[in-house]
Structures are given as structure tokens and as C-alpha cells.
């Protein structure tokens, strides 16, 4: 059913939270990072730092959609700071996830505009999910644009000086989000690539057999690296993850610190526990050495897709180039995904080249930025474009890759790779 009749939009501090199974049944193609449980965990994790300012839309009974957004009154972590996407760098050297070097003098130029040119700021999307798009269980033409307009209007009412949607993936309908920013006087620029893998073989063994020789060799090398590490591998699922949540969060943050990005362990543990409380059944892959968890990956099954989300390693115990990343974050989830009859693996950003060498395709991700100060907008647009092109060069992405088909709109070398800074985010 489609149509615009009786669609109402508003702003809310909360979205509906229901059991995970009911949530998946109602909106099977929604990313887990946009679910009510995930956002409730995000709100709790960012309490005192950010306030929810979600755009919501309703139509008939039980039909609802939301575009997450959070208001930050003061500068937050770099991934959520709008200045980052113009090439600004924090004095302590902390960089945006999958960061790049910026042009000389750009950071100083943006800093000279002053904090007051950007804050308060609104981040559109799921800050702890690295995803700027909407969740919905009904479809109406222009729905995503209306939700974006609602958030932009609410941001202005709250006195926001900047609104940024850092991670808008090239999925059907999301162009409306970008058009809404453009229509409000904002600009858009390249952010990076989102990697995914279609599971179109009959089984894991069939998948491997279909691969070119060099790709099979890489997969074999991943398994060899795991065998040489001498780890005890343990697979845990759902509530069985609870005893390991804090250690997993610690390892994930070690992974991101190594790559120049920042996130707090309590952010991850709070969201993970909220998702578990809702009844989700994440798959956990743990590597133990002398009884201590030194490697971890958590993947979230949803519908017929598996989202590889969190990954972390104890570099002091394993070394910085252990070669274990793809054993835990690709091979093990891939085997189980085929065993569960899934058709897609979503692997997020980071380590793009190494994922491509293992057969992954990609979709482009775009950043949208709006500034309240009209005088700064032309220069901000130029800086956003320059930052994006530098990232495009870093991703070695001369032309956008075709998006993977998705069920939207809804009708009811063998060298050990550097670990990804954002895992499956």
C-alpha cells in the first residue's frame, strides 16, 4: 500500500521498542542499528552528552517510520562532530573513522570559524551504528524527505548551528535525505564505501569452490593464521554473550584506538545489553588465550541478512598484525550465515580493499551537511567536497559502485590486512 494520505510527521525523544522478533517481522529490511532497542541503548549511552530529536511519521494504526537524530550541545567524539567532515582535525590527533590527511591549513581555517558556528549540532542517524537513514514499516512517496525536513526544522527550533548526516548509504529512497539537505541550503560529499557480500551459493563449501584460485588462497591463509595463533575458539549466541559484553567492548575500543578513531566501552556495552534485553540473538565469536578473551567478533542476524558489527583484538597478546581479522569477521560468520540460510552479509566500512579481494561488493556512502550561517555555506560546500575526494582516493574508488538490490520500498594478497577501525559499523 502506498500513498501520502494521513501521513503525519512530528519530533519525538523516543521510538517504539518491541521484542526483537516482532521488530524484525514488522520491518525486516531495517538495519538493526535503527531499531527501537538499539536507539534506546544509544540514548542511554549518550545520556548527558546528546538528546534524541527523532523525526517520526505515522499513517494508519501500526504504521510508523522514524529518522533518528541526536542534538549535541558541545563538541562530541570526532565521528559525530560536523567539523570533521570539512577536514578539521582535533588537536590530540583523534581522527574520524577511516580518516585521511587533509589539505594544509584546512583544519586551522575551520577552527577559526569558532565552535559557535557548529554547536549546538544535530547528528542525523544512529551515532553508534554509523548509519544515517530511516526505519519504516510503510512506504509513501516523499516519506524520507518529509522525515528529513522534520528533523531540520526541529534542529533550527532548538538553535542548532549545524546538522550533519554523516553516513547516508546508496540505498533506494535515501536520495530524498540528500535532496532535503540540498533544498535547505546544505551540501553533500563522498564519505566512503559500505561492503557487503551476496550469499548466492548452495552452501559454504559451494561458495568457496566457486571462488577464483587467488581468492580461495586468501581464505585458506585466513584459516592458517587462526590455526597458528593457538587460540581456543568459542561461539556463543544471544544471552550467552552477557558474561563477555564488557570484555568485547574493551577489545572493540582497542581496535578503534589503534586506527585513530575513538569510542567509549560503555557506549558499546550499553547498546549490546539493550539489544540482548529485547531478545536479539547475536552471534559471538571469541578467541581465548590462556583463558582470557583476546579476540572477538559479534554479528547480528536480522531477516536474511547478517550484520557483522563489532570486532576487537588484544594487540598486546596477539601482535598488531596477527592476521586474525578475517578469520573472525569474515570466515566464521560466512560459514554460519550459509548454515542459517541467509542471503547477504553486511560488513560495513573499513579494510575495503581486503574485503574486495575476498569477493565483497560495495555501495557508496555520502555525507550531508547544513550550516545555519549562510555566509559559511559556500566555503563549507567546497571543503566537504575536497574532504570527500580525498577519502575517495583513499578508498581507491574512482567511480561509484552499483548498489546491491534491497527489498525497498516495503509493501506492509595473502598478507595479513590491517584491522578495520569500524568493523562492521
Which pTM does this prediction carry? 0.90
Per-run averaged pLDDT (10 residues), the chain, 425 residues:
66 83 88 95 95 94 92 93 94 64 84 97 96 93 96 97 97 96 98 96 97 95 93 97 97 74 85 97 97 97 96 89 91 98 94 92 97 98 95 73 40 40 51
pLDDT value for 401: 46
Q: By the 8 A CB rule, do 134 and 36 touch?
A: no
Which residues, other chains included, contact 373 with Cβ-Cβ below 8 Å and sequence gap of 6+? 117, 161
Tell me: cis bond preceding 149? Omega within 30 of 0 counts.
no
Q: In what order do the strands lie in the sheet with 69-72?
A: 50-52, 69-72, 121-124, 162-169, 361-371, 187-198, 344-348, 305-313, 292-302, 283-289, 232-237
Angle at which helix 265-277 crosses helix 245-258, to 10 degrees, equals: 140
pLDDT value for 16: 78
pLDDT value for 52: 96
pLDDT one-digit tens code per residue, 104-161? 799 999 999 999 999 999 999 999 999 999 999 988 899 999 999 999 999 999 999 9
* CA 181 to each of CA 156, 189, 363, 367: distance values in angstroms, whole numbers, following the listed order: 13, 12, 20, 10
pLDDT one-digit tens code per residue, 353-412? 999 999 999 999 999 999 999 999 999 999 999 999 998 988 776 654 444 434 343 333
Bridge-based pairing state of the strands 121-124 and 162-169 = parallel
Domains and CATH numbers, the chain: 8-193+363-395 (3.40.630), 196-361 (3.40.630.30)
pLDDT value for 394: 80
Amino acid at each position: 500500500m502506498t500513498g501520502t494520505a494521513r501521513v503525519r510527521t512530528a519530533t519525538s525523544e523516543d521510538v517504539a521498542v518491541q521484542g526483537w522478533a516482532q521488530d524484525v517481522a514488522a520491518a525486516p529490511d531495517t538495519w538493526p542499528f535503527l531499531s527501537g532497542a538499539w536507539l534506546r541503548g544509544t540514548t542511554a549511552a549518550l545520556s548527558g552528552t546528546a538528546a534524541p530529536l527523532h523525526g517520526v511519521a505515522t499513517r494508519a494504526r501500526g504504521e510508523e517510520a522514524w529518522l533518528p537524530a541526536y542534538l549535541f550541545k558541545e563538541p562530541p567524539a570526532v565521528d559525530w562532530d560536523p567539523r570533521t567532515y570539512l577536514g578539521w582535525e582535533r588537536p590530540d590527533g583523534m581522527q574520524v573513522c577511516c580518516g585521511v590527511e587533509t589539505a594544509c591549513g584546512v583544519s586551522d581555517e575551520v577552527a577559526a570559524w569558532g565552535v559557535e558556528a557548529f554547536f549546538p549540532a544535530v547528528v542525523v542517524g544512529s551515532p553508534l551504528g554509523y548509519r544515517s537513514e530511516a526505519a519504516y514499516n510503510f512506504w509513501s512517496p516523499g516519506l524520507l524527505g518529509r522525515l528529513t525536513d522534520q528533523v531540520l526544522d526541529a534542529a533550527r527550533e532548538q538553535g542548532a548551528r549545524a546538522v550533519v548526516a554523516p553516513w547516508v548509504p546508496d540505498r533506494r529512497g535515501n536520495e530524498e535525505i540528500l535532496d532535503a539537505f540540498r533544498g535547505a541550503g546544505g551540501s553533500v560529499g563522498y564519505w566512503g564505501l559500505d561492503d557487503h557480500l551476496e550469499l548466492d551459493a548452495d552452501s559454504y563449501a559451494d561458495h568457496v569452490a566457486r571462488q577464483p584460485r587467488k581468492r580461495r588462497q586468501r581464505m585458506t591463509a585466513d584459516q592458517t593464521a587462526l590455526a597458528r595463533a593457538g587460540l581456543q575458539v568459542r561461539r556463543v549466541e544471544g544471552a550467552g554473550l552477557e558474561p563477555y559484553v564488557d570484555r568485547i567492548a574493551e577489545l572493540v575500543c582497542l581496535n578503534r584506538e589503534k586506527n585513530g578513531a575513538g569510542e567509549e566501552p560503555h557506549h558499546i556495552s550499553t547498546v549490546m545489553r539493550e539489544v540482548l534485553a529485547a531478545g536479539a540473538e547475536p552471534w559471538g565469536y571469541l578467541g581465548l588465550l590462556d583463558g582470557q578473551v583476546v579476540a572477538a567478533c559479534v554479528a547480528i542476524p536480522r531477516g536474511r541478512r547478517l550484520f557483522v558489527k563489532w570486532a576487537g583484538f588484544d594487540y598486546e597478546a596477539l601482535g598488531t598484525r596477527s592476521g586474525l581479522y578475517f578469520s573472525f569477521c569474515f570466515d566464521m560468520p560466512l560459514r554460519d550465515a550459509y548454515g542459517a540460510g541467509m542471503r547477504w552479509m553486511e560488513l560495513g566500512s573499513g579494510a575495503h580493499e581486503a574485503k574486495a579481494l575476498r569477493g565483497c561488493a560495495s555501495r557508496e556512502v555520502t555525507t550531508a551537511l547544513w550550516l545555519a550561517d549562510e555566509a559559511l555555506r559556500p566555503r563549507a560546500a567546497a571543503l566537504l567536497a575536497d574532504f570527500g575526494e580525498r577519502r575517495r582516493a583513499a578508498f581507491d574508488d574512482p567511480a561509484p559502485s552499483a548498489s546491491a538490490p534491497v527489498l525497498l520500498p516495503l509493501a506492509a594478497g595473502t598478507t595479513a590486512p590491517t584491522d578495520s577501525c569500524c568493523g562492521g559499523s
